[in-house]
Amino acid sequence: MNIGIIGFGYWGTNLVRNFANLSGAELTLVADSRIERKQFLGKLCPAAEFTTNPYDITDNVNIDAVVIATPVFTHYELAKRSLTNKKHVLVEKPMSSDIKQAEELINISEKSGKVLMVDHTYLYTGAVRKMKELIDNNQIGNIKYFDSTRINLGLFQPDVNVLWDLATHDISILNYLMSEKPTTVQATGVSHTSNGIENIAYLTVKYNSGLIAHFNCSWSSPVKIRMMLIGGDKKMIVFNDLEPTEKIKVYDTGYEYKTDEDKTKILVDYRAGDIYIPKLETREALSLMATDFRNAVENGEKPLSDMNSGLDVIRILEASQRSIKERGKEVTI
């Protein structure tokens, strides 16, 4: 399986490192429009050739699979051209700039029989897989809330707002952990630059069961926080991604309520028990993701981060953008 990677910037460098070490695959060609990246590729992966033209990869008869790690607005065109030329495609998150593009890519993939996968890297982390195990084994109980904060002094992206850049991760985790589908979205945000692209935004996602999810995303915070709280009616999880080893803590904390006899007052009983720190798998998430892509191509296995999970994320992001435009109006997904 010959692989070509388009986009050798910050994230593309991690992808090159992982695909260069992937057994059963050859990283043969890397494209980046910046010629100065050629020298660095020579050091990182001397076996791969370099080009400044992405079509040397999308149109190359010797390439079986294309990995796309360019800015979001380029994903659709490069993925479409690769799929149309009968290549398997792994595209960076978010999959495309809107629902229509994502649906079209899925359609081409289904017709051509070629894999289309999205890199929602977090789904392959030990922490997220442990949370999935705890929730699926009913150790947390019915999930009542999901609250995520992803803020830092981040790179202002030129083409997408802070939700498309940062909340993409958290939404992919939310969708993976919850079996229920969300119903509505409300979002507000603000742009502090002249390009109108929101650098701070707050998103709320609601479900029929009463589950509520909230996301706080910012490129303008003096401190870096990567924190997720998941509350169930049995236990609660705190996921702090900045902790080097103890990323997940499970709190045996909860509350129960009763109403008094004439049903006018609510009486709440609190419970605060032990805190459990599970051991996590430490293999690099990107290496597992690359292996999942290879297995999907070679054996037709359904990847964890498949094209439909990519579309589900885009549905929430697009609805959030509409809500921001309409000053926080509730938008049905």
Ligand X SMILES: NC(=O)c1ccc[n+]([C@@H]2O[C@H](COP(=O)([O-])OP(=O)(O)OC[C@H]3O[C@@H](n4cnc5c(N)ncnc54)[C@H](O)[C@@H]3O)[C@@H](O)[C@H]2O)c1
The residues binding ligand X (CB under 6 A) are 6-12, 31-34, 54, 69-72, 74, 92-93, 119, 121
Beta strands 49-51 and 184-190, pairing class: unpaired
Closest approach, Cβ 92 to ligand X, in A, equals 4
Query: What are the CA-CA distances from residue 203 to residues 159, 160, 215, 249 (Å)?
Result: 19, 15, 5, 25
Tokens of 151: 């803020």
Nearer to ligand X, 83 or 236 (CB): 83
For residue 88, with 0-12 CB atoms within 10 Å meaning exposed, 13-18 middle and 19 or more buried, which class applies?
Answer: buried
Nearer to ligand X, 10 or 257 (CB): 10
Name the DSSP class of 278: -
Beta partners for residue 248, in sequence order: 239
Closest approach, Cβ 326 to ligand X, in A, equals 25
Q: Is 60 helix (H, G, I), strand (E, B) or coil?
A: coil
Cis omega (within 30 of 0) on the bond before 244?
no
Nearer to ligand X, 143 or 162 (CB): 162
Counts for the chain of helices (H) and strands (E), in that order: 10, 15
Nearer to ligand X, 186 or 218 (CB): 218
Nearer to ligand X, 211 or 286 (CB): 286
CB distance 70 to 7 below 8 Å: yes
Residue nearest to ligand X (CB): 9
Burial 6-43 (b: 16+ CB within 10 A, else e): bbbeebbbebbbbbbebeebbbbbbbbeeeebeebbee
Beta strands 2-6 and 26-31, pairing class: parallel
What are the backbone dihedrals phi and psi of residue 117, each rounded to the nearest 5 degrees, phi first? -135, 150
d(CA 220, CA 286): 27
Nearer to ligand X, 169 or 294 (CB): 169
d(CA 146, CA 139): 16
Closest approach, Cβ 228 to ligand X, in A, equals 15
Residues 6 or more apart from 222 whose CB is under 8 A from it?
A: 153
Closest approach, Cβ 11 to ligand X, in A, equals 3
Closest approach, Cβ 114 to ligand X, in A, equals 20
Nearer to ligand X, 235 or 294 (CB): 294
Nearer to ligand X, 77 or 298 (CB): 77
